[in-house]
Amino acid sequence: MPVSQSELTQHFEHVLSLSKVDETQSVAVLKSHYSNSFIVTAAMEASQRLGAKAYIVELPAFNHRTAMGNDLTAYVGHTALTGHPAAQQALMAADLVVDTMMLLHSPEQEAILKSGTRILLAVEPPEMLARMLPNLEDKRRVEAAAEVFKSASTFRVTSAAGTDFTARLGQYPVVTEYGFADAPGRWDHWPSGFLFSWPDEGSAEGTIVVDVGDILLPFKTYVRDKPVTLEIQEGFIRQIHGGFDAEYLREYMAHFKDPDVYALSHIGWGLQPRAQWTALGLHDKNDAIGMDARAFEGNFLFSTGPNTEVGGPRNTPCHMDIPLRHCSIFLDDAMMVQEGRVVAPEGSLSSS
Ligand SMILES: O=c1ccc(O)c[nH]1
Ligand SMILES: [Fe+2]
């Protein structure tokens, strides 16, 4: 459903206020020609309503000849900011950057965050921003789960479809996403509501079965043909087999001619009750990057490729996000999700 400029601006005022924007702050809205103009206007208006000094940094779009499709998460790491220190300085000068063009998984984003600048990514259509408007309850629940995640040393996932995956934890931090950037150096994404970490290098092992109904991003397809089975050893996908969807995934990843594309990237689970598994099927591919799929409560979200977000060595541009339903997730021996239903910790359960 369409969302009016006035409603969107009010939502931005709510989220920027949660992001600690006030008269002491400066806000840079990062945009390009493909940014949603309603979002750019709402971010600028809301910042000024909150008394902040607002400005726009516009960058020419960045294209790479290997990149296919328009999804902003499909080709990551190299952005319009790569090799552009002047623009990076202009963004680091702000207290908060509202990113409407996607810097995620780029070394430049990490450099901006290290300077203490906060970044809030907002690229989804206004309908999704409105439906998954964040609140302090989201933050409390995600942080309750992160407390347990941070102290765990093993991550295990099983499913009736045949998934049996383990990874050691501890080398990389736990990343929380609850929809607003409220602390110095914090990156967040509106909409979101999930958490993840990365497997210790070389520790991811086992089988992941992407079953019928599970989602392949950025393809924005639900697996419908036969399940896709991934065999994982020492941190990398070694085999991809199944039916058409498996062949498509093999072909797509091979296109990048980069062995790092087969590395496991972030692993975690969804905690957003206002995100829906079905939502992706109601949008055209170019409408959105599909945050409902990444955030729906009780999913097991794993991904492939880069680990630059946590200072890791892999900056490969091919990034798959693959959320699964009906999985059970264990931290050490404690079950967090039981066949797609969040069961622990108590503080992370939603009332819906
Ligand atoms: O919010 C996001 C979006 C994409 C991604 O890969 C991680 N988190
Ligand atoms: Fe991802």
The residue type at 170? G
Q: Are residues 117 and 206 in the same domain?
A: no
How many A from CA of 53 to the centre of ligand 2?
32
Helices 85-92 + 107-114 axis angle, to 10: 40
How many other CB atoms are found less than 10 A from the CB of residue 65? 5
Atom 1, ligand 1: which residue's CA is nearest?
A: 189
Please work out whether the CB of residue 177 comes within 6 Å of at least one atom of ligand 1.
yes
Q: Indicate if 84 and 150 belong to the same structural domain.
A: no
pLDDT for res 160 = 98
Domain assignment of residue 118, given as a range = 5-123
Residue 259 CA to ligand 1 center (angstroms) comes to 22
Query: Which of 73, 128, 292, 322 has the most ligand 1 atoms within 8 A of CB, as the residue to mutate?
Result: 73
Number of structural domains the chain divides into:
2
| Residue 130 included in any domain | no
- C-alpha 50/C-alpha 179 separation (Å) is 18
Q: Is 308 in the pocket of ligand 1 (CB under 6 A)?
A: no
203 and 341 assigned to the same domain: yes
ipTM of the complex: 0.95
Give the C-alpha distances (Å, rounded to integers) separating 169 from 209, 252, 294. Answer: 21, 29, 21
- Per-residue confidence in pLDDT tens, the chain, 352 aa: 899 999 999 999 999 999 999 999 999 999 999 999 999 999 999 999 999 999 999 999 988 888 899 898 888 888 999 999 999 999 999 999 999 999 887 889 999 999 999 999 999 999 999 999 999 999 999 999 999 999 999 999 999 999 999 999 999 999 999 999 999 999 999 999 999 999 999 999 999 999 999 999 999 999 998 999 999 999 999 999 999 999 999 999 999 999 999 999 999 999 999 999 999 999 999 999 999 999 999 999 999 999 888 888 888 999 999 999 999 999 999 999 999 999 999 999 998 6
* pLDDT confidence of residue 352: 65
Same domain, 248 and 342: yes
Last residue of a domain, one of 123, 157, 184: 123
156, 92: one domain: no
22 and 151 together in one domain: no
Same domain, 170 and 289: yes
Give the C-alpha separation, 45 to 143, whole Å: 30
- Could you tell which of 76, 104, 132 is best to mutate to test the pocket of ligand 1, judged by most ligand atoms within 8 Å of the CB? 104
pLDDT at 309: 82
Nearest Cα residue to 73 out of 289, 301, 312, 309: 289
The verdict on pTM exceeding 0.80 is yes
| Same domain membership, residue 210 and residue 69 | no
